């Protein structure tokens, strides 16, 4: 009798269990060994530029900043599911005004190498951070004697050292298959003689293949 009951119960429960079993989840995108290319618009924020100003007939040291713009081309490779390496090449588009008319900072071009780590927040969004080195070529445009005197840390060669440590942190969102919207920010370089720290803020599209 017990055998008959067990058989009847199993016959009833098996179809129900099969019906209620969770459906298999969609496979996560495998990024290892994928290459990528991106094009970003970039804002360059030159902070902490030392300027000497007159206050109550005294010359006082203060700081100022300026914003410029550029464009950045990115080429990279996912070496594992979590780590990537990339190179970047950028050019300046608009000079940064430290003071109207007679004090500007111009970035001609920059090239960077990074290694980084990315982590998925959802199946379509990732957060990432990366660290590397950059080569920067630019100039300080001081077009009056007063500007030369008021910005003592700046010379025509800017930055003073063409190599610097760089870092970035950002988010990417998959908006189409293998196509990502990218938003990021970080430090591009530091110029020691002038105490200027230049930060980069970029947004654009990246395609992985």
Please indicate, yes or no, if residue 141 is contained in any of the structural domains.
Answer: yes
* Long-range CB contacts (within 8 A, 24+) of 141-146: 141/95, 141/103, 141/104, 141/105, 141/106, 142/102, 142/103, 143/101, 143/102, 143/103, 144/101, 144/102, 146/102
In three-state secondary structure terms, 14 is helix
What is the arithmetic mean of pLDDT over 186-208? 95
Give the per-residue pLDDT at 162: 85
Please indicate, yes or no, if residue 120 is contained in any of the structural domains.
Answer: yes
Give the per-residue pLDDT at 3: 46
pTM summary value: 0.83
Please indicate, yes or no, if residue 64 is contained in any of the structural domains.
Answer: yes
Phi/psi at 102 (nearest 5 deg)? Answer: -130, 5
Please indicate, yes or no, if residue 18 is contained in any of the structural domains.
Answer: no
Please indicate, yes or no, if residue 173 is contained in any of the structural domains.
Answer: yes
Give the per-residue pLDDT at 40: 98
Number of domains within the chain: 1
Q: Is pLDDT larger for residue 57 or for residue 207? A: 207
Please indicate, yes or no, if residue 109 is contained in any of the structural domains.
Answer: yes
Query: Considering only CA atoms, which of 104, 106, 107, 77 is closest in space to residue 90?
Result: 107
Segments forming the whole domain that contains residue 188: 33-208
What is the arithmetic mean of pLDDT over 45-54? 93
The CATH code of the domain that includes 201 is: 2.40.160.20
């Amino acid at each position: 009798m017990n055998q008959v009951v067990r058989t009847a119960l199993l016959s009833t429960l098996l179809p129900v269990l099969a019906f209620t079993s969770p459906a298999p989840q969609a496979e996560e995108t495998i990024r290892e060994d994928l290459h990528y290319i991106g094009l970003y618009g970039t804002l360059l924020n030159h902070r902490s530029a030392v300027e000497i100003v007159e206050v109550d007939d005294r010359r006082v040291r203060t700081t100022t900043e300026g914003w410029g713009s550029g464009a950045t081309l990115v080429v990279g490779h996912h070496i594992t599911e979590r780590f990537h390496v990339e190179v970047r090449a950028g050019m300046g588009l608009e000079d940064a005004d430290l003071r109207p008319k007679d004090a500007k900072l111009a970035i001609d071009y920059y090239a960077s190498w990074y290694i980084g780590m990315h982590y998925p927040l959802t199946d379509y969004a990732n957060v990432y951070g990366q660290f590397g080195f950059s080569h920067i070529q630019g100039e300080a445009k001081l077009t009056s004697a007063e500007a030369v005197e008021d910005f003592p840390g700046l010379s025509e060669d800017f930055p003073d050292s063409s190599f610097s440590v760089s870092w970035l942190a950002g988010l990417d969102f998959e908006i189409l298959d293998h196509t990502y919207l990218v938003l990021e920010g970080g430090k591009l370089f530091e110029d020691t003689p002038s105490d200027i720290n230049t930060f980069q803020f970029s947004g654009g599209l990246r395609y992985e293949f």
